[in-house]
Copies of this chain bind each other. A is one copy, B any other.
Amino acid sequence: MTLTVGVIGIGKIGQEHIRRLTETLAGARVVAVSDADSARAKEVAARLPGASVYGTGEDLVAAKDVDAVIVASWGATHAAYVLAAIKAGKPVFCEKPMATTEADCSAIVDAEAAFGRRLVQVGFMRRFDAQYRAMKEAIEKGAVGLPLMFHSVHRNASAPAHFKATMAITDTAVHDIDIARFLLDDEPVAIAVRAPRANRRAGGVADPLLALMDMRSGALATIETSVNIAYGYDIRGEVIGETGTVSLAEQSDVVIKANGAFSVRVFGDWPERFGPAFDAEFRAWISAAAKGGAAGSSAWDGYVATAATLAGVKALESGAREPIKLRERPALYAL
């Protein structure tokens, strides 16, 4: 009944996933960990009753008592572990990006298609957010007519020291790109990126950026990333249809009227904003993995996200609209 899980990569995000499976959600137990830093692996395992440490991710994947795998290691290492899990026929939850090159992504897609059943779930938690789901539901019900545009806004109070402008595409806008596809039920064909006047708080990095992503249907997604905007973590989105629009409502707990104004607190950062979405994402994964499958974003979604962000990086550098050329979609991923 209880899903036994092995976790590859137990840095900040990996430990957060372990905490969620162990302390918050029913149905799973972490029985194996592995990490490039073996001391850290031992330390974390020691706090998990009955958990083993494996020297390599591949060994962990192969372990008999591991039903399913979470990959939360450094991005460039994802592909190998995901491929190993597919080979072992084990469900695998992979943090974004699924892989850092189109070739690696494509290899995963091929492997899973050959396996013949979904095993891979990519960590785009927004698809489990109650607000985005309500948005999609409204669109599907025809509440706003055929979608023509999507304005997405992704703001962070401040970027870490090592942040580069391209990361605003690969690490930040990647979430907006995935959710645009989800909401519009459409694939991207091209992307351009504008770098307006830079925020001096960004220390020389081009920030904010405005990406313009063209979809196959002709719909246009605009994505503003502002990663040093000081005031808080703020995710906004509006889909413009032929007869109306649907947008994410402001999330607020209390309204305080004081000192000549009424005010509402803004989220500080993503763990708070998307906490319930992460819970729902892993609840869905535990449930699907227990049946040998996966939920949410697929390997195909992981592939397209990487293809689109790499085109976006190119577009930021070239200043031109860059095409996003997608391979053929295997039948496994038919809509």
Contact = CB atoms under 8 A, between A and B. Distances in A.
Interface string A133-169: 0110010000111101101000000000000000000
Contact of A24 (B25, B131, B247, B255): B25
Interface string A198-234: 1111000000101010110111101010101111101
Contacts of A224: 149, 151, 240
Q: How many copies of this chain are found per oligomer?
A: 4
A210 B220 contact: yes
Contact of A230 (B21, B229, B243): B243
Contacts of A210: 149, 212, 220, 222
Contacts of A199: 145, 148, 242
A194 B208 contact: no
A257 interface: yes
Nearest to A252: B249
Contacts of A149: 196, 208, 210, 224
Contacts of A232: 257, 260-261
Interface residues of A, number: 74
Interface stretch (A34-42, A113-121, A264-272): A264-272
Nearest to A248: B254
A248 B255 CA distance: 6
Contacts of A208: 148-149, 240
A245 interface: yes
A259 B231 contact: yes
Contacts of A328: none
6 contacts: A144-B258, A148-B208, A230-B243, A244-B258, A260-B266, A263-B263
